[in-house]
């Protein structure tokens, strides 16, 4: 007979064991928990600092680390947990080691808990995003994107995504060719097609984003109008040529780095929507793209996040006017 949890039909499937430690205690505590964890698996959560837009991520060794492992509840004895506590106590004589925190877990809990907070929500004047597990009856004129973000960034809830969708609704014209740089979950690419784009080419440097976008495009019945590839913009990248509308919802530093390739993708007379820009980085982004000959049109802002709209002048029109 194992611990008291073993005989309870309603008992959790797993126990999460967690300890807060200082930097010097990470290695010995990791070794200790690995002896007992399922498949010797251990998660080390490093304390970090980062800019408001998520850039410049760095570990902060002055703050506590959290070490976690999981054990099957049916196989762990109460005596085992006490042995771990005793070992942690001894390690704590030499280093800073916190108490062992034991939390019951079920697989379906951590797999699905986040879904409770992801509901139908409006991200533009017309665009509504709904997860597959919620029904929604659209009003006249609304465009509904069915989205399962999976592991990819982009539920539509972030201010930068909302800003990009609002600008997209204003800029897109029927039949436009669109490039989506850093597509994430594909929410912008799908919305562009549903709003009238003839086709969308989408790129992302994360393979999981490529897979998720393809799946979401098929889910919305627009898989034949969205091409998704692993990569970025510029020479040697998946898509060349120019587009009527280019979307780039990426952090400011990356926008500046990719400015040459993004700018070159905007066709004469075409538009560019930049989002993911924290307000303090706006001047650098504007300098980078205005240096590429793009004409600033307008900005919009939600909280500390900014979206910028640019246009490339139509060379044939300029010539005619001259």
Portion of the chain with pLDDT greater than 70, in percent: 88
For residue 114, the model assigns a pLDDT of: 60
Tell me: pLDDT of 2 over 80: no
CB neighbours of residue 296 within 10 Å: 12
Pairing of strands 199-204, 177-181: parallel
249 shares its domain with 146 = yes
pLDDT, mean of residues 244-263: 97
Name which of 61, 60, 50 is nearest 253 in CA terms: 50
The rounded mean pLDDT for the chain is 88
82 shares its domain with 146 = no
Phi, psi of 248 (to 5 degrees): -145, 100
Comparing 123 with 111, the larger pLDDT belongs to 123
Dihedral-angle region of residue 99 (phi above 0 means left; psi in -120 to 50 means alpha; beta otherwise): beta
For residue 4, the model assigns a pLDDT of: 42
Tell me: pLDDT of 231 over 90: yes
131 shares its domain with 104 = no
Tell me: pLDDT of 299 over 80: yes
Q: Quick: pLDDT tens for 259-295.
A: 999 999 999 999 999 999 999 999 999 999 999 999 9
| CA distance linking residue 244 with residue 293, whole number of Å | 16
Domain boundary among 113, 134, 169: 113
For residue 9, the model assigns a pLDDT of: 46
Give the model's confidence band at 10: pLDDT under 50 very low, under 70 low, under 90 confident, else very high.
Answer: low
50 shares its domain with 174 = no
For residue 117, the model assigns a pLDDT of: 64
CATH number of the domain to which 230 belongs: 3.40.50.150
Strands (E), the chain: 14-21, 43-45, 48-49, 58-59, 65-72, 101-105, 121-122, 127-130, 143-146, 177-181, 199-204, 226-230, 243-249, 266-278, 295-302, 305-311
Comparing 173 with 9, the larger pLDDT belongs to 173
Tell me: pLDDT of 56 over 70: yes
Domain boundary among 90, 113, 136: 113
Give the model's confidence band at 8: pLDDT under 50 very low, under 70 low, under 90 confident, else very high.
Answer: very low
200 shares its domain with 109 = no
For residue 5, the model assigns a pLDDT of: 41
Lowest mean pLDDT among 96-110, 122-136, 187-201, 273-287: 96-110
Give the model's confidence band at 314: pLDDT under 50 very low, under 70 low, under 90 confident, else very high.
Answer: confident
Return the C-alpha torsion angle 239, 245, 249, 252, nearest 10.
Answer: 90
Count of structural domains, the chain: 2
Q: What is the DSSP letter of 119?
A: -
Pairing of strands 305-311, 266-278: antiparallel
21 shares its domain with 76 = yes
Q: What is the DSSP letter of 97?
A: B
For the chain, how many helices (H) and strands (E)?
9, 16
Rg over alpha carbons for the chain, rounded to the nearest Å, is 25
Which three-class secondary structure state does DSSP give residue 196? coil
Q: What is the DSSP letter of 193?
A: H
Token readout for 176 is 């436009």
Burial of 172 (0-12, 13-18, 19+ CB in 10 A): buried
Tell me: pLDDT of 7 over 70: no
CATH number of the domain to which 87 belongs: 3.30.70.120
Give the model's confidence band at 154: pLDDT under 50 very low, under 70 low, under 90 confident, else very high.
Answer: low
pLDDT, mean of residues 71-93: 90
Q: Which domain holds residue 14?
A: 4-113
237 shares its domain with 124 = yes
């Amino acid at each position: 007979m194992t611990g008291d949890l073993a005989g309870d039909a309603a008992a959790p499937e797993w126990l999460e064991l967690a300890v807060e430690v200082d930097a010097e205690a990470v290695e010995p505590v990791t070794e200790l928990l690995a002896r007992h964890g399922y498949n010797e698996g251990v998660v080390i959560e490093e304390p970090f600092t980062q800019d408001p837009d998520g850039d410049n991520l760095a570990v902060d060794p002055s703050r506590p680390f959290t070490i976690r492992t999981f054990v099957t509840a049916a196989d762990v004895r109460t005596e085992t947990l006490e042995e771990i506590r005793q070992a942690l106590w001894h390690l704590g004589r030499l280093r800073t080691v916190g108490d062992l925190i034991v939390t019951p877990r079920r697989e379906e809990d951590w797999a699905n808990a986040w879904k409770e907070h992801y509901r139908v929500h409006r991200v533009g004047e017309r665009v509504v995003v709904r997860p597959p597990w919620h029904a929604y009856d659209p009003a006249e004129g609304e465009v509904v994107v069915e989205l399962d973000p999976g592991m990819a960034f982009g539920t539509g809830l972030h201010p930068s995504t909302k800003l990009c969708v609002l600008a997209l609704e204003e800029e897109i014209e029927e039949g436009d060719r669109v490039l989506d740089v850093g597509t994430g979950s594909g929410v912008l690419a799908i919305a562009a097609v549903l709003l009238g784009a003839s086709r969308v080419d989408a790129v992302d440097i994360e393979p999981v984003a490529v897979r998720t976008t393809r799946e979401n495009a098929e889910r919305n019945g627009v898989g034949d109008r969205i091409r998704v590839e692993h990569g970025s913009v510029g020479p040697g990248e998946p898509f060349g040529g120019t587009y009527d509308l280019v979307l780039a919802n990426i952090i400011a530093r990356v926008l500046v780095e990719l400015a040459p390739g993004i700018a070159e993708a905007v066709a004469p007379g075409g538009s560019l929507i930049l989002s993911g820009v924290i307000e303090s980085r706006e001047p650098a982004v504007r300098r980078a793209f205005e240096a590429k000959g793009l004409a600033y049109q307008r900005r919009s802002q939600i909280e500390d996040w900014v979206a910028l709209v640019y246009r490339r002048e139509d060379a044939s029109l300029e010539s005619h006017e001259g």
